[in-house]
Amino acid sequence: SVQCHNEFHEWSVALAAAESVLLYGLGSKRKTLTFFGKYLSREGDIVRLDGYNPDVNLSQFFNLLRLSFGGSNLGDGTFESYSLKKQSTLLGNLFAMERSLPLFILINNIDGLGLQSHLAQEALANLKTCSKRSNGSFMIRIVATVDNVNSALTLWSPLVEHDFNWAWRKVSTYEQYFEDIKCWQEKENPTKTKKSVRVRSSCVAVDKVLAALAPRHAHVLQVLAKLQLKSSSSEVTISEWKDACKKKMLPYNDQQIRALMNEYIDHMLIRLTIDDEGYERVTIPHSRKQVKEILKFKRNTS
């Protein structure tokens, strides 16, 4: 949004003051992150890390940084065998000694499945910390987005959170997550048939969105999935949905359900229709197989 663009200077100052910037709020923040990256490119180099990609490999990412920014001899050929903590220490020290301009790492969805481990978060924070120069400036600066603030708070120990030194900035774009999911869907193995790739991508995409939802919100959708699988028409009335949620001790009053429905519709998780008698019906507009995947979904707590 234009308002966010007006805040870019303030965010840049926060980065220069040893803070990391964390963007949170409703909707995809990919475009905002991209535009901010263009703004920062006047000050240094930009690299991007996509937490939406379930196959993201932080060790490979660190090795790419090593090869791209003058550290080809770092580690005497054994760099990739080191722990993430040691890799990040070596890289951070290298940037502190040899860089004159900062490197900005833009992380979309730092709470994504590919980056959720405590080891990954510790390594990223350590990478920044070890890039500190004698004058107090950091040569590696981190800007990240987070979709689920509550789950994100469990990612960091007090020490790791201190090392990141987050400057929280609310950015509610209300934009859908098409581009976030599309970016790594297109990297699927091209040797697979188009049909199998499409089915697998769609299933994983739904998992990605579910993982970004608050746990109770995901459970409410799973209640709908269970009802839909039992329904002969694959459609469920809102009253049936609310009654089932009430039995599960989940949000069930009309105001709560309406708010959740808007969130689900934004993510293309449900579709709302009105039957011939004027009753509202809701359905998950995916194949039966995918609805079963929603029902089986379990949050990764590792």
Residue 56's identity, in one-letter code, is: V
- Mean pLDDT of all residues in the chain? 81
Q: Which pLDDT score, from 0 to 100, does residue 1 have?
A: 52
Both structure tokens of 199: 């089915």
Task: Give the DSSP per-residue string, 261-283.
Answer: HHHHHHTT--EEEE-TTS-EEEE
Residue 198 has pLDDT above 80, yes or no: no
CA dist 226 and 233 (Å) reads 13
Q: How confident is the model at residue 223 (pLDDT cuts 50, 70, 90)?
A: very high
Tens digit of pLDDT for each residue in 68-79?
A: 877 666 765 678
The alpha helices in 69-177, defined as continuous H runs, are: 84-98, 118-129, 149-152, 158-164
More confident residue, 97 or 179: 97
Query: 164, 127 in Cβ contact below 8 A?
Result: no
Question: Span 14-31, mean pLDDT?
Answer: 92
Question: Span 78-107, mean pLDDT?
Answer: 91
Q: Which residues of 74-88 are buried (b: 16+ CB within 10 A; e: fewer)?
A: bbeeebeebebeebb
Q: How confident is the model at residue 66 (pLDDT cuts 50, 70, 90)?
A: confident
Tens digit of pLDDT for each residue in 98-129?
A: 888 999 999 998 988 778 888 999 999 999 99
Q: How far is CA 273 from CA 242, 248, 265, 280, in A?
A: 16, 25, 12, 6
Residue 253 has pLDDT above 90, yes or no: no
